Chains A and B, each alone.
Chain A
Amino acid sequence: MSSPVIHAHHAPQGFIRRYVFSLDHKVIGIQYYFLALFSVLVGMSLSLLMRYHMIHPDAKVAWFAKLWPTAAQGGIMTPELYLSLMTMHGTIMVFFVLTTAPQSGFGNFFLPLQIGAEDMAFPVLNMLSFWTTFLALAVMVAAFFVQGGPPLAGWTAYPPLSAVPQAGPGEGLGQTLWIVSIAIFCGASLMGAINFIATTIDLRCQGMSLMRMPLTCWTWFVTAILGLLGFAVLLAAGVLLILDRSAGTSFFLPAGLLVSDQILNHKGGSPLLWQHLFWFFGHPEVYIAILPGMGVTSQILATFSRKPVFGYRAMVFAILGIGFLGFMVWGHHMFMSGMSPYSAMAFSVLTMAIGVPSAIKTFNWIGTIWGGRIHFTTAMMFALGFVSLFVTGGLSGIFLGQPALDLYFHDTYFVVGHFHMIMGVAAIFGMFAGTFYWFPKMFGRMLNETLGKIHFYTTFLGVYAIFTPMHFLGIAGNPRRYADFTNFDFLGKLLPVHFFMTQAAYFTAAVQILFFINLVWSLKNGKKAPMNPWNSTTLEWTVPSPPPFDNFAGHHPVVNHGPYEYSVPGAPRDYIMQTDPVDVHAA
């Protein structure tokens, strides 16, 4: 037998090749992570401006006037400005935070490590995909600085508003930049998806069968498939929208539209066509945001309960089930569009069906921690917080999935509360959990646990304080997307609730400073991280923190065990690494 080749690779030495146009999946993962961190700061600032405006619609703020001389003349925010802030908040959060950090950030860094590969399958494509995402973000942010400002049409960009340049400020160049940015982002996501899928299928090390993959890898894999199919459709829809805006076609624009006292030339198109295409992407997008969080949560709950994931196989099939069903329920976003009640019924039943895999996951998470020796680390707290938020947000989804109830709830704050709980905050808790769990591996230092715990408890209380009242507001009939509630009698009585939510938003935003302090301080001064600080089982904990350039220093890991062998009876310690010898029980 020929002796195996050990061939370690050295990192490129130049600064640009090493940190800027790097081909290393770990550097690219960190680049994605920081891109998302920048985006979340922008998105959060926008939401604070919106919350401020809702409770002080008439306030004159001097720096508003400086920042937006036309849209906030005299310092008073116009409703159009409010809508443009809302559009950018939603867009930046959905695309550049929720799609970017959990999948492209953590996934890039840890997928090759967890399956025992030296890098992604196509490193150059990987680098291109990051820089294309960066370009998309730059184009999106540019919309703030063009005449008319950012678009008003919301992150869903419904036509006719989004398709008619003269429909309002921001619907000109701002909306064009928006569509171009999203099209670029689609391209970047497709490149990323190709890499994730090929890597998972072809680059697993010896012994890493599909059913030995950590659940994180399963979620990244399924998320990549969702992204692949979803973003391709969004790209197609975006092309049609651009043509309607600039080439005079009528895909989405009906006849007889009167905009700014002018009858438009378009005829025969249907805005509903956009809604179908958009939500065919848009609903899977929800799972793109949440699935990686589910993977991280499973991983962390098992690690810190010192127990195997309860029902690993069922978890895998639940992930696949959610991914599959995610493509068949887009119509539940359109119950109000005048669709046939029979279609609504079908979409409703399929929507309810997603409750089954979701319940399996929740049940198995509880089964995982049940009777475990739980270590309440910050990562564990955030994972538990994820489960809590997922259940809360999921339950309100059951209401919205019923056409009869949705007719009432549609476009109220109930919807805003629902999707912020499940898609926004739950996914972000998944990111926090991942950050606290993997930071030692990524940067070689431990995050501060005390600061982390304070951050967790305050954030947990804060987000419930912001988003729980929204459900009551929705039941009371408070519409969403309104910039000002003071002109309506029945809404005036609800203003104190809005006041409370705004205060809660200030509080929650303020305590995020703790997280940033923790991040920056620990990068330099955190305790040095050992190779496996949490006594975890998966492959990334078999290499130094941070891992060398080519992950396994030229070695080829061999996997002999499943991903979550904790507290195995007869084993010498309470965890068996995936690479431990087969006969570890006998040792």
Chain B
Amino acid sequence: MPGSITSDVIKPPAPPRGGGGFGGGGGSDGRGASRRASMTGLFVLLAATTMAFAAFTSAYVVRRGMSNDWIAFPLPRILWVNSAVLMASSVLLEIARRSLKGGRRSEFNRYWTAGTALGVLFLLGQGWAWKELASAGIFVATNPSSSFFYLLTASHGLHILGGLTALVYVDVEALRLKLGPGKRTAVDVSAVFWHFVDGLWIYLMALFLVWG
């Protein structure tokens, strides 16, 4: 019934969308997560993480400022090594991403695996720092300064663990030669998340040094 409005409530299909002004839909048929939506989702997740650490920070600053029982303790030296390791892993991942863009797959595999390994090394190093503190008799409940130290490193460590899961997933897919163009999103999402937790760690180090 051409001309009648009621008859054609389901409109004839639109021409395929090219990423113009409106939402992209996903992939070829709109189902599932598109690259754009994945990036949006990632940044939304990072906003939530930032909020949680902002809350911890405000608790840290307030708790330190209002009482007279705060006793600072020297940070374990290995944290400096850990920081360097974490930053190096971010750099390696970035080199890996460039290699992938240039189509150099085996180079990508090498750098990505190395970056992931450094991530694991960072986590082990954090465990070492905890062990050092514990052997010096500094535990979670010893002092608010140590409570916050354990709390923040543990929360950060959980995010590292999540990031590592993603890195390992990408690595396994890459080594099994299953890293098709569709998985580029996974590469980018996990790399950006990793850079974020890297930056978060630098922020936490600054917090410990300035307010510790």
**Residues on A facing B (Cβ under 8 Å):** 1-2, 4-7, 9, 115, 117-119, 121-123, 125, 190, 193-195, 197-199, 201-209, 228-229, 231-233, 235-237, 239-240, 243, 247-251, 267-270, 273, 276-277, 280, 531-532, 541-543, 550, 552-558, 572-573, 577, 579-581, 584, 587
Contact = CB atoms under 8 A, between A and B. Distances in A.
B25 A203 contact: yes
A127 to B, nearest CB: 13
A203 B38 CA distance: 11
A121 B34 contact: yes
B206 to A, nearest CB: 19
21 contacts: A2-B16, A7-B28, A118-B31, A121-B37, A190-B45, A202-B34, A203-B30, A203-B37, A209-B21, A228-B51, A235-B52, A236-B55, A236-B59, A243-B140, A541-B9, A550-B31, A552-B10, A555-B13, A556-B30, A557-B11, A579-B9
B5 interface: yes
Interface in B127-146: 140-141, 144
Which of A125, A267, A268 has most B Cβ within 10 Å? A268
B59 A194 contact: no
A532 B9 contact: yes
- Mostly helix, strand, loop or mixed at chain A's interface? loop
B32 interface: yes
Nearest to A274: B59
B160 to A, nearest CB: 17
Nearest to A121: B37
B73 to A, nearest CB: 15
Interface string B107-147: 00000000000000000000000000000000011001001
Contacts of B20: 206
Contacts of B24: 202-203
B37 A199 contact: yes
A267 B23 contact: no
B182 to A, nearest CB: 16
Given A121-B26, A584-B5, A236 B14 contact: no
Nearest to A247: B140
A162 to B, nearest CB: 16
A309 to B, nearest CB: 22
Given A233-B54, A250-B141, A273-B62, 20 more contacts: A7-B29, A9-B29, A117-B23, A117-B30, A123-B32, A194-B48, A201-B37, A205-B14, A237-B59, A240-B59, A243-B140, A243-B151, A249-B141, A270-B62, A532-B9, A552-B10, A553-B10, A555-B11, A555-B12, A556-B17
A531 B7 CA distance: 11
Contacts of B25: 117-118, 203, 205, 556
Contacts of A558: 11, 14
A587 B55 contact: no
Contacts of B23: 115, 117, 201-205, 208
B3 interface: yes
Contacts of B141: 247-250
Contact of A229 (B21, B48, B59, B63): B48
B36 interface: yes
Given A202-B23, A208-B22, A209-B21, A237 B11 contact: no
B44 interface: yes
B51 A9 contact: no
A533 to B, nearest CB: 13
B22 A193 contact: no
A194 B147 contact: no
B14 to A, nearest CB: 4
Given A1-B15, A556-B14, A121 B31 contact: no
B56 interface: yes
Contacts of A541: 9
A531 B12 CA distance: 17
A194 B41 contact: yes
Nearest to B67: A268
B144 A206 contact: no
A248 B9 contact: no
B51 A206 contact: no
B40 to A, nearest CB: 4
A551 to B, nearest CB: 9
